[in-house]
Homo-oligomer: A and B are copies of this chain.
């Protein structure tokens, strides 16, 4: 017997038949003798409709009212799933965020969970009742409904699993696990049985959108074992867990990529203290995140080129902010390039093994792919290359690191 949290996203509960299907999956876990809490999202499409209505009335709207509106999506799903479970003879009840309560801070629209009071729920789960919990929502200090931001249901599930001291948090999605790389691009990609929190975090941050970054951070912090698996296929998925639980660690676990970034180069920036702050300050003020940054060595000792990446959707805004700041900044020219891709090699093994970066550079060089920018973290090496090389780079690296399926 185990205590597990199961989480189903919008596609998995997208219509009445799928909700019934989810009920059957939950029943299986109950029949296996497990204590079960289920966290669900809104039926797919519903949240978009609700957000759209808010925007139609006022592009800039009170986040508290927005939360009141959009939180209804999950509330519909919990009621329907509870009914579907009861119809299968499973004892179940729904819980809105405010009923548990899942307390959050007061940041409406993207609140953070502070505490979850599970006393009542645990008692009922021990008595065999399935808790059907609305993801994505909580209760703020103002006693009003808060939401956690898009994709927040993953975070709800992990936070609930932590509060319930659950043995596992199963996140059901439309993919059947975490792959060594995108299987739509690399046919030899393999599903991983296990991956560490750290690696999963890096994967999420570079665009492998299986789990929301915040949910992985929370899982890592509270050591919640998270399994990613398919709601449509009946097979084990990928377990995201502590490094110690992985006996045979790979040097490299996966190759990720992100097409969401754009490159900006400021040509002939003065090579003097305070210049970087003068550039990145206005961007930060405009809430534009800057990712990779490279400053070339100054050739003449007086000026240099500065290259960095921003989100593709922020590119025009970033260009405007920098042009407007041109009175204070001085640069000869701004070159914007959206045709780039960030390719990342990820693996906890690189902490203790040298040569992994070198293999990446060699592999790309042998395919004549020019590296524009490089950045590294403890368990990740990322390079920026021309977007047209995405597929070629992924396949070459996947093979080079020995990740291809046998």
CB within 8 Å of B: which residues of A? Answer: 16, 19-20, 50, 53-54, 56-58, 61-62, 64-69, 71-72, 75-76, 78-80, 82-84, 86-87, 93-94, 96, 98-99, 143-145
Q: Which residues of B contact A75 (CB under 8 A)?
A: 68-69, 71-72, 75
User: Once the chains bind, are A54 and B69 in contact (CB under 8 Å)?
Assistant: no
The reply to whether A64 and B93 contact each other, CB–CB distance below 8 Å, is yes
B79 and A66 contact, CB distance less than 8 A: yes
Q: How far is the CB of A77 from chain B (nearest CB, A)?
A: 9
Which B residue sits closest to A98, measured CB to CB? B98
**Whole-angstrom distance between the Cβ of A10 and the nearest chain B Cβ:** 15
Q: For A56, A99, A143, which residue has the most chain B Cβ atoms within 10 angstroms? A: A56
Q: Are A76 and B57 in contact, CB atoms less than 8 angstroms apart?
A: no
Contacts of A94 in B (CB 8 A): 64-65, 68
Nearest CB of chain B from residue A63's CB, rounded to whole Å: 10
* Across-interface contacts of A68 in B (CB, < 8 A): 75, 78-79, 82, 94, 96
In the complex, A75 Cα to B54 Cα: how many Å?
Answer: 13
Contact A57 B69, beta carbon cutoff 8 Å:
no
- The reply to whether A82 and B58 contact each other, CB–CB distance below 8 Å, is no
Please state if B99 and A82 are interface contacts (CB–CB under 8 Å): no
A83 contact set on B, CB distance < 8 A = 54, 57-58, 61-62, 65-66, 69
Minimum CB distance partner of A68 in chain B = B79
Chain B residues with CB under 8 A of A64: 93-94
Q: Which residues of B contact A66 (CB under 8 A)?
A: 79, 83
Contact A54 B72 (CB under 8 A): no
**C-alpha spacing A82/B78, complex, angstroms:** 25
A383 → chain B, closest Cβ, in Å? 45
Report yes or no: A99 in contact with B65, Cβ–Cβ below 8 A.
no
Contact of A80 among B69, B82, B84, B145 (CB under 8 A): B69
Residue of B nearest to A56 (CB): B16
